[in-house]
Each structure stands twice: as structure tokens, then as C-alpha cells.
Amino acid sequence: MSPATPGAPSAPTQGAPTGAPAAAFATRSIHGGRTPDPTTGAILTPIHQSTTFVQDGVGEHRGYTYSRDTNPTVATLEAALGSLEGAPPAVCTATGMAATSVLCLALLSAGDRVVVGEVVYGGTTRLLRRVLSRFDVRVDAADASDPVAWRAALAEPAALCIVESPANPTLALCDLAAAAEAAHAAGARLVVDNTFLTPALQSPFEFGADVVLYSTTKSIEGHNATLGGALLSRDADLLERFRLVRKTLGAPQSPFEAWLTLRGLKTLELRMARHSSSALAVARFLAEHPAVARVAHPFLDGFPQAELARRQQRDGGGLVAVELTGGVPAAHAFVRATRCFALAENLGSAESLVTHPATMTHGDLDPAERARLGIGDGLVRLSVGLEDPADLVADLDRALAAAGGAR
Ligand SMILES: Cc1ncc(COP(=O)(O)O)c(C=O)c1O
């Protein structure tokens, strides 16, 4: 590889602006991994919308050859994410599910066993149960919010463990340090899907995770504008395996989406603080409402795992799970009546969103299984956006009145 590529990032920096000491999160979210464009001085990394890169001679290039392998704009995002997680540059993929697929194909072989949290994003379960099971990968689900059940599931050896904390959609937490210890004792690597909290609010490597996974589609980009995924690890060998599978599978992040995600990162800390404070305000309002059977938010007083939430998270995050009395009819009337909260399957965006997991994201599960996992018919998941919290509360108040008529 020859040095400096005109218009391309040189060796990505790991955090602070050049020459500065290690910087705080907000500073890294703006400067980490970035340098001004060496050709023009543009302060923002250009969108290198190019499939291929001209070589001076066979094997003589500037670090970039073909964008399915790597691309300068994507490489800048990878370095920026690495700097926020205290890790080497990430491996960024086309979607969050592409990241999960790359992870599994890179780390699993026929005959391996995976232990997955029983409440995780439905696509993760679908990949494991309906696709990888055909390749002789054994999948066992365990309650990741119960350290005793989790340890019991790992009494037998395993290759990989996948957890979310908070989990989608119940918001049950997993004690990450305990989960890592049990995984390692069974010979497994622990993967934490940190999509809900982002590196602004939770740092899974501090608790022993081997891989951190993101759907950057959610809060990291934060504006409902992109699809993307990322895998981070402190193990250079794992990163190399991820890069090989991403290139071979053909699942890289696109330069334009990477550029939008770089922009989203700059406000990540501010947005996560606002999402968290507004979600807490919404949860407090809902907890007092007679049409509400149960509310979950990790920083709400009375949350069953409040101590763990404060130990593991820097704030509560933007999601609220609310169980309405009145089951499916009340939930459907509620999601139809909200105005600020759009009925849509995403989370972590500026716009507030609402979903009904039992008939949307988790509709694949049979009703008895859903009930056992705490995904009741009346459960509604709110992704609290960046609008004025008073308007959000007023919207929910009105929608609850409408849902009352459906009871
Ligand atoms: C926690 C979590 N992980 C992964 C994914 C998959 O991400 P994507 O939709 O970007 O493929 C999602 C999507 O909703 C998610 O909620």
C-alpha cells in the first residue's frame, strides 16, 4: 500500500483531533476517525461514491481497490465508531441483519452450539432458527435476564452467545458481566447487540463482551434515513474474519449511508440524553394512568432491575414498553390514535414511533410463547423521539382515551 490517498482518509485516528490527548465522548463523536480532506481541506469526509479505485501498477494502490471490500467513506465511519467504543475500526455492513449474518458465518461451523437470549430482535431468532439450523448449528434460547437460567444453559459447551440489553421489546436487562463470565466458562464468545443504548449509554466491552453489534439504522444514524450495521471487537483476528465474510458475502455499507451515519454520530450523545429524559417523562406519565397495566423503562422508579440498570447504563434510553389493559383491541385503537407517535417499525429516530409487537415485530411467535416471554397482547413499544416531551405526553393521553373506547 502506498501512502496518502488524495481525497481519502489517511490512517484513521482513534479518537481525539490530531495532536490532542484522548478526548471525551462528545468530542470523539465529532472528530474521532476523521481528518479534513487532504486534497481540498473539506472539513467533512467526502462521499467516495466510486465502485473502483485506480491502481498505479499491479498491487500498487492506496489502500482501496473495490468498494465491496472497503471504501474511504465507510472506512472513516468504521474508525469513528471504533473511537466511540474504545476499539479498533468497526466492520460496517449494509444492514444490522447483515452484521448478524456476517458474525454468524464468520464464527460458526457445522456442529456448533449458539445460546441466544430468548427475548431478542425477531430477525436474529429467524436467522438462527430458520437459516443456520439447516447448516447443523444448534440453537438454544435462554432467559438472559436471569443469571441462574443463563448459567444453566451454558453448562454445556457453546461457540457463541448473543444477548440484547435492554431486550426488544420487553426491556428486560441482561447482567452483561455475569453473561460474559458464563459464556467464557463454556468456551463461547459473548456478542452484545447494543443497538438500543449505543456507545453513548452503554459500553459492553467494559463488562467482558467479545463483540459489540449495532443496527446503525436505529439511534446511531438516528434520522430514519439509512440502513446499516456494524461489528466491533478488540480482537484483530475476529475483525479480519468479519472483513473476509463481508467481502465474500457482498454485504458492505454504502458510502452515502456511511456519510449520513457519520453526520448522525455528531449529535449522538445529545440525542441519547434527550431520548432518555423524554422517555422517562413519558414512562412516569403512563405509570399513573388507569388504562395502563404495566410500564417498563430502565430508569423508572420501581423497574425490577433498577440496580443493574444504574450499574450498567449511563442513562435509561429512549424506549418504553407499556402494557395496556384491554389487549389487542385497545392496543390497535391506541396505535391508530397517536399523532406524534407514528405507527412504524423502527426505533431510535428523531420521530417518535409506536409498534405493537404481538402483531408486528414478534408476530412469528405463537401466543403462548409470547405470553411466557412477557410480550402480552396489550404490549405497545414506544420509541420516544426528539419532539417536545409535553406534546408527546398529550398525544399519549389522547390516544389512551381513544383506546378506552375499544375496551
Ligand atoms: C436490536 C436490533 N438488532 C438488530 C436489528 C436489525 O437491524 P436492521 O433492520 O438494520 O437490519 C434490529 C432491527 O429492528 C434491532 O431492533
pLDDT in tens, 58-112: 989 999 999 999 999 999 999 999 999 999 999 999 999 999 999 999 999 999 9
Residue 17 has pLDDT above 90, yes or no: no
279 part of a folded domain? yes
Closest Cα to atom 2, ligand 1: which residue? 121
**Given pLDDT bands bounded at 50, 70 and 90, which one contains residue 22?**
confident
Q: Are residues 215 and 280 in the same domain?
A: no
Query: Which member of 37, 66, 68, 266 is catalytic?
Result: 68
Residue 214 bears catalytic tag: no
Query: Which ligand 1 atom is at minimum distance from the Cα of 164?
Result: 1
Strands (E), 13-154: 91-93, 113-117, 138-142
> Cell triple for residue 179?
453473561
Sign of CA dihedral 256, 213, 347, 368: positive
Residue pair 335/380 in contact by the 8 Å Cβ criterion: yes
Residue pair 113/138 in contact by the 8 Å Cβ criterion: yes
**What one-letter code names the amino acid at 244?**
L
Q: Which domain holds residue 223?
A: 72-265
Mean pLDDT score, 371-382 = 94
* Predicted pLDDT at 243: 98
- Name residues contacting ligand 1 (CB within 6 A): 95-97, 121, 123, 164, 168, 193, 195, 215, 217, 227, 229
Q: Between the CA of residue 397 and those of 142, 298, 374, what are the distances in Å? A: 36, 22, 24
Number of structural domains the chain divides into: 2
Distance from residue 227's CA to the centre of ligand 1 (Å): 9
Q: Are residues 181 and 219 in the same domain?
A: yes
Q: Are residues 80 and 215 in the same domain?
A: yes
Query: Which ligand 1 atom is at minimum distance from the Cα of 100?
Result: 4
- β-bridge pairing 319-324 and 342-343: unpaired
Q: What is the CATH number of the domain that holds 193?
A: 3.40.640.10
245 part of a folded domain? yes
* Predicted pLDDT at 398: 97
Q: What is the CATH number of the domain that holds 346?
A: 3.90.1150.10
**Given pLDDT bands bounded at 50, 70 and 90, which one contains residue 403?**
confident
* Predicted pLDDT at 21: 55
362 part of a folded domain? yes
Give the model confidence (pLDDT) of 265-319 as tens digits.
999 999 999 999 999 999 999 999 999 999 999 999 999 999 999 999 999 999 9
Q: Are residues 327 and 205 in the same domain?
A: no
Q: Are residues 123 and 249 in the same domain?
A: yes
Residue 8 has pLDDT above 50, yes or no: no
* Residue at a domain's end among 265, 282, 309: 265
Distance CA 315, CA 200 (A): 9
Distance from residue 278's CA to the centre of ligand 1 (Å): 22
Mean pLDDT score, 237-245 = 98
Give the model confidence (pLDDT) of 358-374 as tens digits.
999 888 788 998 999 99
Residue 18 has pLDDT above 60, yes or no: no
* Residue at a domain's end among 265, 283, 314: 265
Residue 190 has pLDDT above 60, yes or no: yes
Strands (E), 220-291: 229-233
Q: Are residues 246 and 111 in the same domain?
A: yes
70 closest CA partner among 54, 92, 87: 92
**Given pLDDT bands bounded at 50, 70 and 90, which one contains residue 6?**
very low
Distance CA 251, CA 245 (A): 9
Residue 175 bears catalytic tag: no
* Predicted pLDDT at 20: 54
Residue 397 bears catalytic tag: no
Q: Are residues 328 and 368 in the same domain?
A: yes
Q: Looking up cell 473511537, which residue turns up? A: 83
Query: Which ligand 1 atom is at minimum distance from the Cα of 196?
Result: 1
Closest Cα to atom 16, ligand 1: which residue? 121
175: left (phi over 0), alpha (psi -120 to 50) or beta: beta
Query: Which ligand 1 atom is at minimum distance from the Cα of 228?
Result: 10
Mean pLDDT score, 181-204 = 98
Say what percent of the chain tops pLDDT 90: 90
* Residue at a domain's end among 244, 265, 286: 265
Q: Are residues 248 and 276 in the same domain?
A: no
Closest Cα to atom 15, ligand 1: which residue? 121
Distance from residue 97's CA to the centre of ligand 1 (Å): 6
58-67, 157-166, 213-222, 360-369, range with the lowest pLDDT = 360-369
Q: Are residues 209 and 148 in the same domain?
A: yes
Distance from residue 191's CA to the centre of ligand 1 (Å): 14
User: Which of the pair, 4 or 399, is modelled with greater confidence?
Assistant: 399
Closest Cα to atom 10, ligand 1: which residue? 96
Residue 196 has pLDDT above 90, yes or no: yes
* Predicted pLDDT at 9: 44
Query: Which member of 143, 175, 193, 395 is catalytic?
Result: 193
204 part of a folded domain? yes
Residue 241 bears catalytic tag: no
Q: Are residues 107 and 197 in the same domain?
A: yes
Mean pLDDT score, 321-327 = 95
Closest Cα to atom 9, ligand 1: which residue? 96
Query: Which ligand 1 atom is at minimum distance from the Cα of 99?
Result: 11
Q: Are residues 255 and 373 in the same domain?
A: no
Give the chain's mean pLDDT.
93
**Given pLDDT bands bounded at 50, 70 and 90, which one contains residue 406?**
low
Query: Which member of 62, 113, 189, 218 is catalytic?
Result: 218
Distance from residue 218's CA to the centre of ligand 1 (Å): 8
From 93, 121, 212, 257, mutation site for ligand 1 pocket: most ligand atoms within 8 A of C-beta: 121
206 part of a folded domain? yes
* Predicted pLDDT at 13: 39
Q: Are residues 373 and 261 in the same domain?
A: no
From 174, 216, 217, 355, mutation site for ligand 1 pocket: most ligand atoms within 8 A of C-beta: 217
* Predicted pLDDT at 63: 95
Residue 348 has pLDDT above 80, yes or no: yes
